[in-house]
Structure 1
Protein backbone atom coordinates (compact mmCIF):
# COMPACT_ATOMS: atom_id res chain seq x y z
CA UNK A 1 0.00 0.00 0.00
CA UNK A 2 2.86 2.33 0.87
CA UNK A 3 4.48 1.55 -2.46
CA UNK A 4 1.33 2.41 -4.37
CA UNK A 5 1.01 5.69 -2.46
CA UNK A 6 4.59 6.50 -3.44
CA UNK A 7 3.77 5.73 -7.08
CA UNK A 8 0.71 7.99 -6.90
CA UNK A 9 2.74 10.81 -5.36
CA UNK A 10 5.42 10.43 -8.02
CA UNK A 11 2.82 10.44 -10.81
CA UNK A 12 1.19 13.57 -9.36
CA UNK A 13 4.55 15.35 -9.09
CA UNK A 14 5.47 14.34 -12.64
CA UNK A 15 2.09 15.53 -13.96
CA UNK A 16 2.44 18.87 -12.23
CA UNK A 17 5.96 19.37 -13.56
CA UNK A 18 4.83 18.57 -17.11
CA UNK A 19 1.90 20.92 -16.71
CA UNK A 20 4.18 23.67 -15.44
CA UNK A 21 6.59 23.11 -18.32
CA UNK A 22 3.78 23.37 -20.85
CA UNK A 23 2.31 26.56 -19.48
CA UNK A 24 2.48 29.61 -21.70
CA UNK A 25 3.94 32.94 -20.73
CA UNK A 26 2.30 34.76 -23.60
CA UNK A 27 5.58 35.38 -25.41
CA UNK A 28 5.73 34.49 -29.07
CA UNK A 29 8.41 32.29 -30.51
CA UNK A 30 9.30 34.95 -33.07
CA UNK A 31 10.81 36.99 -30.26
CA UNK A 32 13.29 34.20 -29.71
CA UNK A 33 14.41 33.89 -33.30
CA UNK A 34 12.46 30.78 -34.27
CA UNK A 35 10.64 32.36 -37.18
CA UNK A 36 7.01 32.10 -38.17
CA UNK A 37 7.14 28.68 -39.87
CA UNK A 38 6.87 26.73 -36.59
CA UNK A 39 3.34 25.52 -35.86
CA UNK A 40 2.34 22.77 -33.43
CA UNK A 41 -1.38 22.75 -34.21
CA UNK A 42 -3.10 23.58 -37.48
CA UNK A 43 -6.23 25.71 -37.46
CA UNK A 44 -8.61 22.92 -38.59
CA UNK A 45 -8.17 21.06 -35.30
CA UNK A 46 -5.63 18.38 -36.25
CA UNK A 47 -2.06 18.33 -35.12
CA UNK A 48 1.04 18.05 -37.25
CA UNK A 49 4.30 16.65 -36.01
CA UNK A 50 7.53 17.64 -37.78
CA UNK A 51 5.49 18.94 -40.65
CA UNK A 52 5.56 21.95 -42.81
CA UNK A 53 3.79 23.20 -45.87
CA UNK A 54 5.13 20.32 -47.96
CA UNK A 55 3.02 17.73 -46.05
CA UNK A 56 6.03 15.74 -44.85
CA UNK A 57 4.76 15.43 -41.26
CA UNK A 58 2.36 13.07 -39.52
CA UNK A 59 -1.11 14.51 -39.12
CA UNK A 60 -3.96 13.17 -37.01
CA UNK A 61 -6.48 14.53 -39.50
CA UNK A 62 -5.27 12.04 -42.12
CA UNK A 63 -6.25 8.91 -40.17
CA UNK A 64 -9.18 6.84 -41.29
CA UNK A 65 -11.65 5.38 -38.79
CA UNK A 66 -10.08 1.94 -39.16
CA UNK A 67 -6.60 3.37 -38.56
CA UNK A 68 -7.85 5.16 -35.44
CA UNK A 69 -9.48 1.94 -34.22
CA UNK A 70 -6.28 -0.01 -34.86
CA UNK A 71 -4.22 2.63 -33.03
CA UNK A 72 -6.63 2.48 -30.09
CA UNK A 73 -6.40 -1.34 -29.99
CA UNK A 74 -2.60 -1.18 -30.10
CA UNK A 75 -2.62 1.31 -27.21
CA UNK A 76 -4.91 -0.99 -25.19
CA UNK A 77 -2.61 -3.97 -25.86
CA UNK A 78 0.41 -1.93 -24.81
CA UNK A 79 -1.38 -0.85 -21.62
CA UNK A 80 -2.32 -4.45 -20.81
CA UNK A 81 1.28 -5.57 -21.43
CA UNK A 82 2.53 -2.82 -19.11
CA UNK A 83 0.05 -3.89 -16.43
CA UNK A 84 1.23 -7.50 -16.69
CA UNK A 85 4.72 -6.39 -15.67
CA UNK A 86 3.29 -5.84 -12.19
CA UNK A 87 3.50 -9.22 -10.49
CA UNK A 88 3.39 -8.37 -6.78
CA UNK A 89 0.12 -7.52 -5.06
CA UNK A 90 -0.02 -6.00 -1.58
CA UNK A 91 -2.56 -6.49 1.20
CA UNK A 92 -3.70 -4.56 4.23
CA UNK A 93 -2.89 -5.82 7.72
CA UNK A 94 -4.50 -9.13 8.70
CA UNK A 95 -6.68 -9.44 5.59
CA UNK A 96 -6.83 -11.44 2.37
CA UNK A 97 -9.04 -8.90 0.58
CA UNK A 98 -7.70 -7.75 -2.80
CA UNK A 99 -7.13 -3.99 -2.93
CA UNK A 100 -8.95 -1.92 -5.54
CA UNK A 101 -5.55 -0.81 -6.95
CA UNK A 102 -4.74 -4.42 -7.83
CA UNK A 103 -7.98 -5.34 -9.59
CA UNK A 104 -7.27 -3.87 -13.06
CA UNK A 105 -3.82 -5.43 -13.11
CA UNK A 106 -5.19 -8.82 -12.07
CA UNK A 107 -7.88 -8.57 -14.77
CA UNK A 108 -5.11 -7.97 -17.35
CA UNK A 109 -3.29 -11.06 -16.04
CA UNK A 110 -6.48 -13.13 -16.17
CA UNK A 111 -7.12 -12.09 -19.79
CA UNK A 112 -3.55 -13.00 -20.70
CA UNK A 113 -3.86 -16.41 -19.00
CA UNK A 114 -7.19 -17.05 -20.73
CA UNK A 115 -5.55 -16.37 -24.10
CA UNK A 116 -2.43 -18.41 -23.20
CA UNK A 117 -3.68 -21.77 -21.88
CA UNK A 118 -0.18 -23.28 -21.73
CA UNK A 119 1.09 -20.59 -19.37
CA UNK A 120 1.20 -21.57 -15.70
CA UNK A 121 1.56 -19.33 -12.67
CA UNK A 122 2.59 -19.96 -9.08
CA UNK A 123 0.90 -17.62 -6.60
CA UNK A 124 3.09 -17.22 -3.52
CA UNK A 125 1.42 -15.76 -0.43
CA UNK A 126 3.35 -13.90 2.25
CA UNK A 127 2.66 -12.20 5.58
CA UNK A 128 4.56 -9.81 7.82
CA UNK A 129 6.26 -11.01 10.99
CA UNK A 130 3.41 -10.18 13.37
CA UNK A 131 1.41 -13.20 14.51
CA UNK A 132 2.42 -16.81 15.00
CA UNK A 133 4.16 -18.78 12.26
CA UNK A 134 1.11 -21.00 11.85
CA UNK A 135 -1.25 -18.04 11.59
CA UNK A 136 0.96 -16.29 9.04
CA UNK A 137 1.23 -19.45 6.91
CA UNK A 138 -2.57 -19.66 6.86
CA UNK A 139 -2.89 -15.93 6.08
CA UNK A 140 -0.41 -16.21 3.20
CA UNK A 141 -2.43 -19.14 1.87
CA UNK A 142 -5.70 -17.19 2.13
CA UNK A 143 -4.10 -14.32 0.19
CA UNK A 144 -2.80 -16.62 -2.56
CA UNK A 145 -6.20 -18.33 -2.77
CA UNK A 146 -7.97 -14.94 -3.01
CA UNK A 147 -5.80 -13.98 -5.99
CA UNK A 148 -6.40 -17.40 -7.54
CA UNK A 149 -10.19 -17.06 -7.20
CA UNK A 150 -10.09 -13.55 -8.67
CA UNK A 151 -8.08 -14.75 -11.69
CA UNK A 152 -10.42 -17.72 -12.27
CA UNK A 153 -13.54 -15.55 -12.04
CA UNK A 154 -12.00 -13.23 -14.65
CA UNK A 155 -11.14 -15.92 -17.20
CA UNK A 156 -8.02 -17.84 -16.14
CA UNK A 157 -8.19 -21.61 -15.77
CA UNK A 158 -7.75 -23.09 -12.30
CA UNK A 159 -5.42 -25.68 -13.89
CA UNK A 160 -2.97 -22.89 -14.75
CA UNK A 161 -2.66 -21.70 -11.16
CA UNK A 162 -0.77 -23.15 -8.20
CA UNK A 163 -0.84 -21.59 -4.74
CA UNK A 164 1.76 -21.78 -1.99
CA UNK A 165 2.34 -19.87 1.24
CA UNK A 166 5.61 -18.91 2.88
CA UNK A 167 3.94 -16.93 5.66
CA UNK A 168 6.53 -14.72 7.31
CA UNK A 169 9.48 -16.91 6.27
CA UNK A 170 10.47 -15.02 3.12
CA UNK A 171 10.26 -11.28 3.77
CA UNK A 172 10.82 -8.84 0.90
CA UNK A 173 12.18 -6.26 3.36
CA UNK A 174 13.83 -6.76 6.74
CA UNK A 175 12.73 -4.66 9.65
CA UNK A 176 9.94 -4.12 12.12
CA UNK A 177 8.48 -0.90 10.76
CA UNK A 178 5.08 -0.28 9.18
CA UNK A 179 6.80 0.32 5.84
CA UNK A 180 8.63 -3.02 5.98
CA UNK A 181 5.52 -4.86 7.10
CA UNK A 182 3.46 -3.32 4.28
CA UNK A 183 5.95 -4.59 1.69
CA UNK A 184 5.94 -8.07 3.22
CA UNK A 185 2.13 -8.51 3.08
CA UNK A 186 1.94 -9.66 -0.52
CA UNK A 187 1.23 -12.28 -3.17
CA UNK A 188 3.82 -12.74 -5.89
CA UNK A 189 2.96 -14.14 -9.32
CA UNK A 190 5.71 -16.33 -10.73
CA UNK A 191 5.20 -17.31 -14.36
CA UNK A 192 6.50 -20.76 -15.25
Structure 2
Protein backbone atom coordinates (compact mmCIF):
# COMPACT_ATOMS: atom_id res chain seq x y z
CA UNK A 1 0.00 0.00 0.00
CA UNK A 2 1.46 3.35 -0.95
CA UNK A 3 1.86 6.25 1.44
CA UNK A 4 -0.65 8.29 -0.58
CA UNK A 5 -3.40 5.65 -0.19
CA UNK A 6 -2.58 5.22 3.50
CA UNK A 7 -2.97 8.99 4.00
CA UNK A 8 -6.37 8.97 2.28
CA UNK A 9 -7.57 6.10 4.47
CA UNK A 10 -6.36 7.94 7.57
CA UNK A 11 -8.25 11.10 6.60
CA UNK A 12 -11.43 9.15 5.86
CA UNK A 13 -11.13 7.19 9.11
CA UNK A 14 -10.52 10.29 11.22
CA UNK A 15 -13.41 12.10 9.53
CA UNK A 16 -15.76 9.21 10.23
CA UNK A 17 -14.63 9.06 13.87
CA UNK A 18 -15.14 12.81 14.25
CA UNK A 19 -18.65 12.66 12.77
CA UNK A 20 -19.57 9.71 14.98
CA UNK A 21 -18.25 11.54 18.04
CA UNK A 22 -20.37 14.59 17.25
CA UNK A 23 -23.60 12.63 17.03
CA UNK A 24 -23.86 11.43 20.61
CA UNK A 25 -27.11 11.56 22.53
CA UNK A 26 -27.75 12.90 25.99
CA UNK A 27 -27.07 10.59 28.90
CA UNK A 28 -28.62 10.54 32.36
CA UNK A 29 -25.65 12.54 33.61
CA UNK A 30 -26.28 15.22 31.00
CA UNK A 31 -29.97 15.41 31.86
CA UNK A 32 -29.40 15.61 35.61
CA UNK A 33 -26.75 18.29 35.21
CA UNK A 34 -29.11 20.31 33.06
CA UNK A 35 -31.93 19.76 35.55
CA UNK A 36 -29.74 20.98 38.42
CA UNK A 37 -28.74 24.04 36.41
CA UNK A 38 -32.38 24.64 35.53
CA UNK A 39 -33.45 24.48 39.17
CA UNK A 40 -30.81 26.98 40.26
CA UNK A 41 -31.62 29.22 37.30
CA UNK A 42 -35.34 28.96 38.03
CA UNK A 43 -34.82 29.90 41.67
CA UNK A 44 -32.64 32.86 40.69
CA UNK A 45 -35.21 34.03 38.17
CA UNK A 46 -38.08 33.65 40.65
CA UNK A 47 -36.37 36.08 43.00
CA UNK A 48 -35.87 38.52 40.15
CA UNK A 49 -39.47 38.08 38.91
CA UNK A 50 -38.13 37.08 35.49
CA UNK A 51 -40.09 34.52 33.47
CA UNK A 52 -38.06 34.57 30.24
CA UNK A 53 -37.20 30.89 30.20
CA UNK A 54 -38.29 27.86 28.18
CA UNK A 55 -38.00 24.21 29.03
CA UNK A 56 -38.04 21.20 26.75
CA UNK A 57 -39.06 17.72 27.90
CA UNK A 58 -37.74 14.43 26.60
CA UNK A 59 -39.01 10.93 27.23
CA UNK A 60 -41.05 10.48 30.42
CA UNK A 61 -41.17 14.24 30.89
CA UNK A 62 -37.44 14.39 31.70
CA UNK A 63 -35.89 17.80 31.34
CA UNK A 64 -33.46 17.80 28.41
CA UNK A 65 -32.65 21.42 27.73
CA UNK A 66 -32.99 24.87 29.17
CA UNK A 67 -32.98 28.13 27.27
CA UNK A 68 -32.60 31.17 29.45
CA UNK A 69 -32.62 34.67 28.05
CA UNK A 70 -30.00 36.69 29.84
CA UNK A 71 -31.14 40.04 31.06
CA UNK A 72 -28.49 42.54 31.91
CA UNK A 73 -29.31 44.78 34.82
CA UNK A 74 -28.98 48.26 33.37
CA UNK A 75 -28.95 51.21 35.69
CA UNK A 76 -31.65 53.49 34.27
CA UNK A 77 -29.92 56.59 35.58
CA UNK A 78 -26.91 55.73 33.40
CA UNK A 79 -29.07 55.32 30.28
CA UNK A 80 -30.80 58.66 30.93
CA UNK A 81 -27.76 60.21 29.31
CA UNK A 82 -28.88 58.64 26.01
CA UNK A 83 -32.59 59.42 26.29
CA UNK A 84 -33.83 60.73 22.97
CA UNK A 85 -30.50 60.16 21.19
CA UNK A 86 -30.71 58.60 17.75
CA UNK A 87 -29.63 54.95 17.51
CA UNK A 88 -30.08 54.53 13.76
CA UNK A 89 -27.76 56.32 11.34
CA UNK A 90 -28.50 56.50 7.62
CA UNK A 91 -26.16 56.53 4.62
CA UNK A 92 -26.26 57.67 1.02
CA UNK A 93 -26.48 55.18 -1.85
CA UNK A 94 -23.30 53.09 -2.17
CA UNK A 95 -21.53 55.20 0.50
CA UNK A 96 -20.06 54.54 3.92
CA UNK A 97 -19.43 58.13 4.94
CA UNK A 98 -20.94 59.34 8.22
CA UNK A 99 -23.40 62.14 7.48
CA UNK A 100 -22.85 65.51 9.22
CA UNK A 101 -26.30 65.37 10.83
CA UNK A 102 -25.30 62.12 12.60
CA UNK A 103 -22.25 63.56 14.33
CA UNK A 104 -24.02 65.20 17.28
CA UNK A 105 -25.82 61.99 18.25
CA UNK A 106 -22.64 59.94 17.76
CA UNK A 107 -20.77 62.37 20.03
CA UNK A 108 -23.35 61.66 22.75
CA UNK A 109 -22.89 57.91 22.29
CA UNK A 110 -19.13 58.40 22.50
CA UNK A 111 -19.50 60.48 25.67
CA UNK A 112 -21.61 57.74 27.23
CA UNK A 113 -19.17 54.99 26.28
CA UNK A 114 -16.18 56.96 27.58
CA UNK A 115 -17.90 57.64 30.91
CA UNK A 116 -18.98 53.97 31.19
CA UNK A 117 -15.92 51.86 30.30
CA UNK A 118 -17.81 48.61 31.01
CA UNK A 119 -20.50 49.40 28.43
CA UNK A 120 -20.30 47.63 25.07
CA UNK A 121 -21.95 48.57 21.82
CA UNK A 122 -22.72 46.52 18.71
CA UNK A 123 -22.88 48.41 15.42
CA UNK A 124 -25.12 46.58 12.94
CA UNK A 125 -24.51 47.58 9.32
CA UNK A 126 -27.25 47.24 6.68
CA UNK A 127 -27.69 47.91 2.95
CA UNK A 128 -30.61 48.14 0.55
CA UNK A 129 -31.52 45.36 -1.88
CA UNK A 130 -29.59 46.72 -4.84
CA UNK A 131 -26.28 44.98 -5.51
CA UNK A 132 -25.17 41.41 -4.91
CA UNK A 133 -25.45 39.82 -1.48
CA UNK A 134 -21.68 39.73 -1.14
CA UNK A 135 -21.31 43.38 -2.08
CA UNK A 136 -24.06 44.41 0.35
CA UNK A 137 -22.46 42.42 3.18
CA UNK A 138 -19.18 44.25 2.56
CA UNK A 139 -20.98 47.60 2.31
CA UNK A 140 -22.81 47.00 5.59
CA UNK A 141 -19.46 46.16 7.21
CA UNK A 142 -17.85 49.35 5.84
CA UNK A 143 -20.75 51.41 7.21
CA UNK A 144 -20.49 49.83 10.67
CA UNK A 145 -16.73 50.36 10.67
CA UNK A 146 -17.18 54.01 9.65
CA UNK A 147 -19.33 54.57 12.74
CA UNK A 148 -16.80 52.62 14.84
CA UNK A 149 -13.95 54.81 13.53
CA UNK A 150 -15.91 57.93 14.37
CA UNK A 151 -16.47 56.69 17.94
CA UNK A 152 -12.81 55.73 18.42
CA UNK A 153 -11.70 59.15 17.16
CA UNK A 154 -13.94 60.62 19.87
CA UNK A 155 -12.00 58.56 22.45
CA UNK A 156 -14.02 55.35 22.81
CA UNK A 157 -11.90 52.25 23.44
CA UNK A 158 -11.98 49.84 20.47
CA UNK A 159 -12.62 46.98 22.92
CA UNK A 160 -16.06 48.49 23.65
CA UNK A 161 -17.13 48.32 19.99
CA UNK A 162 -18.20 45.34 17.91
CA UNK A 163 -19.24 45.59 14.28
CA UNK A 164 -21.45 43.20 12.35
CA UNK A 165 -22.98 43.35 8.88
CA UNK A 166 -26.37 42.04 7.85
CA UNK A 167 -26.13 43.37 4.30
CA UNK A 168 -29.58 43.38 2.69
CA UNK A 169 -30.87 40.50 4.84
CA UNK A 170 -32.70 42.51 7.54
CA UNK A 171 -34.68 45.29 5.88
CA UNK A 172 -36.94 47.62 7.86
CA UNK A 173 -38.82 48.72 4.73
CA UNK A 174 -39.95 46.12 2.22
CA UNK A 175 -40.75 48.41 -0.69
CA UNK A 176 -38.78 48.60 -3.92
CA UNK A 177 -38.48 52.37 -4.20
CA UNK A 178 -36.09 55.11 -3.11
CA UNK A 179 -37.90 55.71 0.22
CA UNK A 180 -37.62 52.07 1.26
CA UNK A 181 -34.02 51.83 0.08
CA UNK A 182 -33.08 54.93 2.12
CA UNK A 183 -34.51 53.40 5.30
CA UNK A 184 -32.55 50.19 4.72
CA UNK A 185 -29.16 51.92 4.24
CA UNK A 186 -28.33 52.23 7.93
CA UNK A 187 -26.26 51.33 10.97
CA UNK A 188 -28.12 50.49 14.16
CA UNK A 189 -26.46 51.06 17.54
CA UNK A 190 -27.31 48.40 20.12
CA UNK A 191 -25.95 48.35 23.67
CA UNK A 192 -25.14 45.08 25.40
**Residue in 1 that maps onto 2:120:** 120
Whether 2:82 is the aligned partner of 1:81: answer yes
5+ long unaligned stretches in structure 1: 1-78
**Residue in 2 that maps onto 1:107:** 107
Whether 2:152 is the aligned partner of 1:152: answer yes
**Residue in 1 that maps onto 2:141:** 141
Aligned residues: CA RMSD: 1.9
Displacement of 1:82 after TM fit? 3.8
Whether 2:92 is the aligned partner of 1:92: answer yes
After TM superposition, where is structure 1 displaced by more than 4 Å over at least 4 residues in a row?
none
Distance, in Å, in 2 between the alignment partners of 1:104 and 1:143 is: 17
Distance, in Å, in 2 between the alignment partners of 1:180 and 1:143 is: 18
Would you say the 8 A contact 1:117–1:160 is kept in 2? yes
Deviations 1:100-122 (A, max 9, x none): 11001001100110000000000
Q: Map of 1:3-42 to 2, 5 A cutoff? A: none
Deviations 1:53-95 (A, max 9, x none): xxxxxxxxxxxxxxxxxxxxxxxxxx963453x1000000000
Deviations 1:112-163 (A, max 9, x none): 1000000000000000000000000000000000000000100211000000
Task: Figure out how many residues of one structure are paired with residues of the other and give that number.
Answer: 115
Would you say the 8 A contact 1:83–1:108 is kept in 2? no
Displacement of 1:175 after TM fit? 1.1
What TM-score, normalized by structure 2, do the two folds share?
Answer: 0.57
What TM-score, normalized by structure 1, do the two folds share?
Answer: 0.57
